[in-house]
Amino acid sequence: MKTPLAAFAALLIPACGAHAEDASLSAAPEPASYVRVCDAFGTGYFYIPGTETCLKVGGYLRVEAAGGDPNEQDTVPGGGGDSWSTRSRLALRLSSAADTEHGTLSTYGEAEIENVDNGPTSLNIENAYLELGGLRVGYSDTLYTEFTGDAGNTINDYYDVNYGDFGRTQIRYTYGEETGLSFALSAEDDSDANSSVVADAAKPDDDYMPDLVAAFGYSAEGFRIRAVGGYDESMNAGAVKLRMDGTLGPVELFAMGGWNTNGSEPNNYARWSGDWALWVGGTFKMTEKAAMNASANFDQGGDAEAALNMTYTIAPGFTVAPEINYRNRMDEKAGPNAKDWGGVIRLQRNF
């Protein structure tokens, strides 16, 4: 019996080996497909697999604590109370870009998830627009503010002397590069509720006529000048701003002035008191990791406010910024016991 069994086993083993070899060949893994880096539009982009569109994902996480009457942290009627306010925010940013025969086609979206004082968590869309060449359509900061920039690098860069910190759905065209001449035009949807400081706040801006903004600027090494004007169609009034920036070694300085075409009444683009407003400030780069920022604002109505902070980079992408704030006439604005000083500290991780 041993001889026939041995012969059968000798025939069976090679056959099984052949089948095992075929199975291993058919189950061989495919070559790995890696995401390609896209450097045509800056750092952080990668190609969406199977397309020529580049994508970038980023954002930041921010935690703040603020106190003092200027930051509306009074717990006693009439001001003068002691309290802290806390705020935590997660901002997610998504950018895409691709070359087309008409120029670069790009999109940008930014969503903010925020919680204040342990209350209900809110979701805010900060940006949602597309661009083709110099044309932009969608929701973003008004051209009136984006072209001239914020009032410095402080956290609370204004209280009462508002330079126009709001967003609009708009159609915009911009021409120019980072250096040399540039100009921009935009038609902006004004159907949202007006700021409470605007004279016709109770009147809905729900008609076919948009607000209009025009801007012009020139930039060279170490110097920049920009001008912008906004027209509030519902009030048949507007405002203009002129800003100059200069760099002297580690010091960056700016001055910006605003003029209300109808000083007796604030409008969508002139949200300060009186005919004129002034914003000044600067940044001193102390070291590679530390910088000091200052800003001060004034208007014809007698408002005066200021901020001073220092930002320090603890690790790449992670900064801390303590800041002191001043806002005049708080006894008139918040109650007889309110004080003019406050403060805030911010920790932020960019990614």
Instruction: Please write the tens of the pLDDT for every residue from 260-292.
Output: 999 889 999 999 999 999 999 999 999 999 999
Contact 280, 254 (CB under 8 A): yes
User: Residue 84 — very low, low, confident or very high, per pLDDT cuts 50/70/90?
Assistant: confident
- Residues 125-155 pLDDT 10s: 999 999 999 999 999 999 999 999 999 999 9
Say what the pLDDT of residue 25 is.
Answer: 43
- Residue recorded with tokens 């126009």: 164
Is the C-alpha dihedral spanning 186, 189, 194, 195 positive or negative? negative
Pick from 141, 44, 140: nearest CA to 96: 44
Give the Cα-Cα-Cα angle 140, 117, 161 (nearest 5 degrees).
50
User: Residue 96 — very low, low, confident or very high, per pLDDT cuts 50/70/90?
Assistant: very high
Query: What b-and-e string marks burial along 8-32, b requiring 16 or more CB atoms within 10 Å of the CB?
Result: eeeeeeeeeeeeeeeeeeeeeeeee
Say what the pLDDT of residue 264 is.
Answer: 82
- Residues 7-36 pLDDT 10s: 433 433 344 344 444 434 445 555 556 789
The mean pLDDT of the chain is 88
The conformation of residue 345, written as its DSSP 8-state character, comes to E
Say what the pLDDT of residue 206 is.
Answer: 64
At 260, which amino acid appears? N
Stretch 47-72: mean pLDDT: 94
pLDDT at 295 over 70: yes
* Distance (Å, whole) CA 243 – CA 226: 5
- Residues 161-177 pLDDT 10s: 999 999 999 999 999 98
Strand pairing report for 276-285 and 211-220? unpaired
- Residues 104-129 pLDDT 10s: 999 999 999 999 999 999 999 999 99
Query: What b-and-e string marks burial along 180-197, b requiring 16 or more CB atoms within 10 Å of the CB?
Result: eebebebbbebeeebeee
Contact 320, 63 (CB under 8 A): no
- Which tokens in the block code for residue 187? 């038609």
Contact 194, 166 (CB under 8 A): no
pTM of the entire predicted model: 0.85
Q: From residue 258, how far is each of 121, 214, 226 by CA, in Å?
A: 36, 15, 12
Residue 135 belongs to what H/E stretch?
Answer: strand 135-141
* Distance (Å, whole) CA 23 – CA 139: 57
The total number of residues shown for the chain amounts to 351
Residue 285 belongs to what H/E stretch?
Answer: strand 276-285
- Residue recorded with tokens 């790449």: 316
